Structures are given as structure tokens and as C-alpha cells.
Structure 1
Amino acid sequence: MGPQDPHGRRRDREGRRSVGRPRPARQRQTDLVTGYRSRVSDMTSTNDRFYEDLPTFDDFEGVIDFAAYTPVSDDWVLVMSDVVDSTAAIRAGRYKDVNMGGAATITAVLNACETTQVPFVFGGDGGTLVVPGSLREKACDALLDLQGGSVALYDLELRVDAVPVSMIRERGQDVSVRKFTLSPGNHLAILAGGGAELADDLVKDPAPDNPWLLRAETEREPPDLEGLSCRWQPLNSRDGQMMTLMVKGLDRDSEAEAALLRRVLDNIVRILGHDLTNSAPCGFAFLPPAPTAKPVVSLAADRSGAGLV
């Protein structure tokens, strides 16, 4: 051991300050490809419990009550995956493989987060999660492991990125969340604010200087997909036809967007003649109650084979 300088830092025999053991290559690569290092290394358990402690709601119309959404802390990170050329794969009849690739993203990151509950959204050809800064490196490692193994597992390439919530806000977007109760102890995260859309644009930007893309530049460990379960269920139409209606407000004002979506929901209820949730093609009775339940990505397909996610 060499002598210490006046500040207590260890020096070698030639008087040079020791920098200690080099960080593992895997950690160095994660820091490099994310372009972001967490500024908070001593995250409090309260911050990590943000989603677990978030109040829930069970009235579906509450999804358009944007004032009730809770902003995610600046030091959290939005991580996302996207199956490359998923449209062509679906046209080739490989919608199950595409969906499995998206579901695997959620499973891999949840396993990395262990007991910390985090919001996640399954997008069919990818997955979106928001994780505390204290788990950023673990989540990025999980995404890189999955990216490195996705071709062998599903014969599909996977794009992944990690975008700090603070940067999303610097670009004029936001990340807020609500927790909708599906059944006792089982919840669905709903994101608002435009942050997920921004991250989606970034993950599809192939520019070599895109600092938010994660790239598996070295050989990776096999992804931890323990608990992955995609429960395909055939759905039969009760009234002769099923459809998915996707509506996106273009007004940046949240009150105007809420008013638009309110009119859409009211008109759907008027046309159906009953509450919207009564027309859901499937229920959630199969989900086990908490606390034993683990997050499960559930998929369904109609008789034509079209994926309903």
C-alpha cells in the first residue's frame, strides 16, 4: 500500500494518485451507451416506493382525469424496447413472436428490479417501464442482455433505450402516472404527458450519435426471463364484431384533450347503451390475488389470428 496525500487519498510508490480497480467492462459499456449517469447515488427507499405507494382508482373514466396523474421524479428513467421491423413480422404471421419479444422486455426489467414495483406498459411490439435512478444500471443491463439474446430467442432484432425523465422534461414533455385497479391486488399503469412518445421516437432513431440508444457491443449474459408467461386466449365475439378504437388528442393543453376524450367516451357509451367496461372482450378473473401475484403479460387473439393487445 502506498502513502496517503494530505487529503487521505492513496498514492503509489511513484507518488501518483491511485484510482483503484477499473470498473468491469460491462458497467463501463452501460455508462457509455446510455449517455447518462445518475446524479443521485443514495436514492431513498421512499422514492423507490413511489409506484408501490401510489393511490389506485377503479373507474375507467378516470384515465382522462389528467389532474389526478402524479409526476414521476426527475431522477427516474424511462426504458423502452421496440422490435425491429415488427410490421413485416406480423404480416408473416409471427405476431406471437413479436408479442413475446415485447413481453420479455417487461419480464427482464421487472426481474432486475426485484422487489421494487415499477410502472410498465405492454405495447405489443415492445415494452415501456419507468424505473428509479437507483435501478438504472440494473435495468439497462437487463435490456442489453435481452437485446443480445433476442435473435436467438425469437429470431427478431430488438432496439432498446433509456431516457432520463429530467431530459424528457427539458424537451417540453412529461412523465406522469396513474394506477388503475384491474382486480384486487392487480393494477395497470397508465402513463401521460408525452414522455413515452418521445422515448419511442428516440428508440427508432438509428443515428450513431443517439446517446439514449443502448447497444450490446460485447457478448452478453442470457436474459433473466423467469416468470415470463404469455397466456394466449381465443376470444369469441359476443355481438358479432370486435374492434379496437385508438384515439389521440392533438391539443397540447391537457384540459382540452380531456374534454375531447370525454366527448368520445360519452358517445361510445351512448352508442353501446351501457357502460364501456361491460363491452370488454375479456376479464381479469384469471389473475391471482396479491401479494402472491407476479406481473403477467396477457395476450389474446381473435379467430382470424389478429393480435389484440
Structure 2
Amino acid sequence: MMVTEKASIYYYSNLPVHQLAPEDLLSEVSNFSVVPEDWVLIVMDIEKSTQAVRYKMHRDINRIATESIMATLNEMKLLNPDIAIPFFYGGDGASLLIPGAYLQQIRLMLDDFRYHIYTNYFLNLRVGFLAIKDIYERGHAIKLARLSHHRHFSIPVALGDGLKAGERLIKDRLVNERKEPSQRMYVDTEGVSCSWQSIKFQKTSNRTLCFIVSLRDLSQQASTLAGINQKIASIFGNYPERTIFPIKYLERKNKISAIYLQQMKFPNPLNWEYLVVKVLGKYYFRWFQRGRDFAEKLSTSILPTLYDGDYADILIGTKEQIATFIGHLQMLENKGILFFGSFISHQAIIKCSMNIDENKTIYLLDGGEGGFTSAAKVIKPKMRKD
């Protein structure tokens, strides 16, 4: 079926938002729709990010990756507020899909953003673009679905190897020269807030598991990912309850107050609400409706999950639960079905948030002591040996 150019730009906006558990979404391939050929994959990657992390610039790296997404979303709102675009956050970079009709404007904005990053952080943000048509002509595929993450927002779920293949092709030719900015210079990254709140668990209780899964047999991609999520449900509980971040951990040492004040950015420290939050701390989020609403939204808007062809997630559970799940992944790896990397710690870190619009704020979660970065160090050598 032919897709007109006008219909194509609203491709992602018009996808149904599935109110399903991930295992149910993935169990039915008809829930997924082919990305139009006239869309474009954008990949942003911070040059020498590993070295920058060694120099304790990990917070700058995470903020830049978050701002690169926010800048693109804000620019798209200016160009056409009715267009939704899927994005995939990677910690030291990001990938997005946009309609090709807006490529030139987005490219110019990102040139300015790259200049801003270099002048403020002395880091090179490399940016590359690849038409989806070119990915398809190389024999790869990309299908997307929108999965409801509670009622606050939806996340993209990708099937096929097209995103990963496109990222590899782009990274081979990423732009790293520093261009002079356009006359505009200003890039809108409004909506990003970074609080870096570390939530520690007692060593005798829960812990976090960061894991990354990369499938070897893509012909069974959907069913394998569905099976992994079914296993998660059997161990950690059903969706969406298992994705709710326990508010009791956010109340410890008034972490929730710090996140709230960081996000609200009260201009005047004598503001009545600012003073009430500072005095009451966690009790503000129990006694006041505005506080209760924020606590509920925060606990259901923390987003570690990434489905970009691979699968990355964070689970919070007991030592026994995590050991059972890792044993399941190990069994699948031994059968040659997938590669996986995992890392366990006794803390979780809410790094940055993105205020997508008035009612949608996404909080980005990682594990302690490196989290996903540490898990990636486990899986990458396995994949190189293959």
C-alpha cells in the first residue's frame, strides 16, 4: 500500500498506543508497522566518551545525550507540533527517527547544537543521518509499535535489525568537524533537568540489575523478546506494576524533594511552595494533593527500558529473583539464541528528566557503579568473538 508524503510525516503520530504488557505486544507481530522509506535515522555520538568518563565527565556526557534528544523534539514542535518522533536514549548518545521532509531544518539546528556543545564542554558531538530507504536497500528491516508506559507517555518498540545496522553504517562516517553556527545560534534545550539522585538499597534487601540482550537469531526476535518478558513477569510481577519505582526509596533522605525542587526551578527561594517542601520534605508528597500527584507521576515515569532491536532494562529485586533471571538469560545464551551482559549493584540513579510536554515528563534511570556501561563491557567482547 502506497503512503502519501503528507500521511508519511504523521506515521508515528498515527500509530496506535497499545495498552499491553510488553510480552503481549511482542507476541503479535501485526502490532508493528513498517517505518516509511522517506523517514531518516539520526545518530548522535559523543567522540571519545569513554575517555571523558575516565576524567569524571560522565554527568556532562549524560546531559549532552539528553539535551540532544530534547533539542530535536523542541525543534520539531516549532516546525510541526502535531508530529511525534520516536527516540532511543543511549547514555553517551541517542538515535531518533524523523520525517525526511524536515531533515534540512533539523540538520541546521544540530550543527548549532554541536557548536554549543564544543564551546561549553570541549567535547565533539558527532552527528550522522541515513535515509530509511538506504537501510532497506541493504536488506535490513525496521518495524515500530508504541507501547503505553502507564498513562503518562508511550515508548517506541522496534523490531528488525535496521536500527542497529543503520547506527553501524552512520558511525563509520559520523561528522566530527566543528562548523561555525548559523545566524540563529540559540538552540532550545528547555525541558531537561538533571538531579543525579542516587537511591541506595540495603545490602540485605533489594538490588538493581542492569542488563542488555542482543539476539543472534532475528527470525525469532519478537517471540524471544516476548519470552524474556514473560519470564520477567513470572519472577518480578506483572506489567505495569513491576515498572513502578517504589516511592519508599524516593522518600529516603528526601530524594523526592530534591528531584521536585530541581525540576520546578523556583526562581525565588521565598516562594511559599519552595519553603513548604524544604520544611516538610517527604511529608509534602503525602499531605498535599500537588505533592501526591507528583509522587505518583514520578514513580510511574521512570524509564530504563530500551527496545531498539536489542533490549536493555533495569530490574529491582531480591538476590534470589535476580539470580533466577540471570540463569534464564545464561540458558538462552548457551543455546546460541542471544548474547547478554549484566551488572548488579545496590543502588539506582535517576540521572536526568525530559519534560516532553506539560503532562509528560520522562525520568532516565541507571544502575549504580556504571550500570548499563558496566553491562555493555560484558556483552561487547562476546559479540566481537562471534
TM-score surpassing 0.5? yes
What is the rounded CA distance, in whole Å, between the counterparts of 2:26 and 2:55 in structure 1? 36
Secondary structure class of the residue paired with 2:126: strand
Tell me the residue number matched to 1:68: 31
- Is 2:81 the counterpart of 1:120? no
Give the alignment partner of residue 15 of structure 2, picking from 54, 58, 81: 54
Give the alignment partner of residue 293 of structure 1, picking from 352, 356, 359: 359
Give the alignment partner of residue 107 of structure 1, picking from 52, 55, 70: 70
Classify 1:161/1:61 alpha carbon distance in 2 versus 1 (closer, same or farther; 3 Å).
same
User: Are 1:229 and 1:297, in contact at CA under 8 Å, matched by a contact in 2?
Assistant: no
In the TM superposition, residue 226 of structure 1 has moved relative to its aligned partner by 2.4
Equivalences for 1:1-309 in 2 at 5 Å? 43-44=5-6, 46-58=7-19, 59-62=21-24, 64-65=26-27, 66-114=29-77, 115=81, 116-205=83-172, 210=173, 213-214=174-175, 218-220=179-181, 221-237=185-201, 239-253=205-219, 256-270=220-234, 272=235, 274-275=237-238, 277-280=240-243, 282=245, 285-286=297-298, 292-293=358-359, 296-300=361-365, 304=368, 306=370
- Structure 1 runs (4+) deviating above 6 angstroms are 288-291
In the TM superposition, residue 124 of structure 1 has moved relative to its aligned partner by 0.9
Classify 1:181/1:262 alpha carbon distance in 2 versus 1 (closer, same or farther; 3 Å).
closer
Equivalent pairs: percent with the same residue? Answer: 25
Structure 2 residue runs of 5 or longer lacking an equivalent are 247-295, 302-353, 374-386
In the TM superposition, residue 177 of structure 1 has moved relative to its aligned partner by 1.3
Tell me the residue number matched to 1:31: none
Cα-to-partner distance string for 1:261-291 (whole Å, 9 max, x where unaligned): 3333333344x25336544473771369997
What is the rounded CA distance, in whole Å, between the counterparts of 1:241 and 1:202 in structure 2? 37
Q: Which has the larger radius of gyration?
A: 1
Tell me the residue number matched to 2:262: none
User: Are 1:121 and 1:127, in contact at CA under 8 Å, matched by a contact in 2?
Assistant: yes
User: Are 2:65 and 2:92, in contact at CA under 8 Å, matched by a contact in 1?
Assistant: yes
Deviates more, 1:97-106 or 1:186-195: 186-195
What is the rounded CA distance, in whole Å, between the counterparts of 2:176 and 2:39 in structure 1? 21
Secondary structure class of the residue paired with 2:363: coil
What is the rounded CA distance, in whole Å, between the counterparts of 1:299 and 1:289 in structure 2? 11
Q: What TM-score do you get using the length of structure 2 for normalisation?
A: 0.59
Structure 1 residue runs of 5 or longer lacking an equivalent are 1-39
User: Are 2:236 and 2:242, in contact at CA under 8 Å, matched by a contact in 1?
Assistant: no
Tell me the residue number matched to 1:14: none
Q: Which has the higher helix share?
A: 2
What is the rounded CA distance, in whole Å, between the counterparts of 1:178 and 1:85 in structure 2? 33
What is the rounded CA distance, in whole Å, between the counterparts of 1:231 and 1:62 in structure 2? 34
| CA RMSD, 1 decimal | 3.0
Q: Which has the higher strand share?
A: 2
Classify 1:154/1:305 alpha carbon distance in 2 versus 1 (closer, same or farther; 3 Å).
farther
Count of matched residue pairs: 257
User: Are 1:147 and 1:216, in contact at CA under 8 Å, matched by a contact in 2?
Assistant: no
In the TM superposition, residue 214 of structure 1 has moved relative to its aligned partner by 4.1
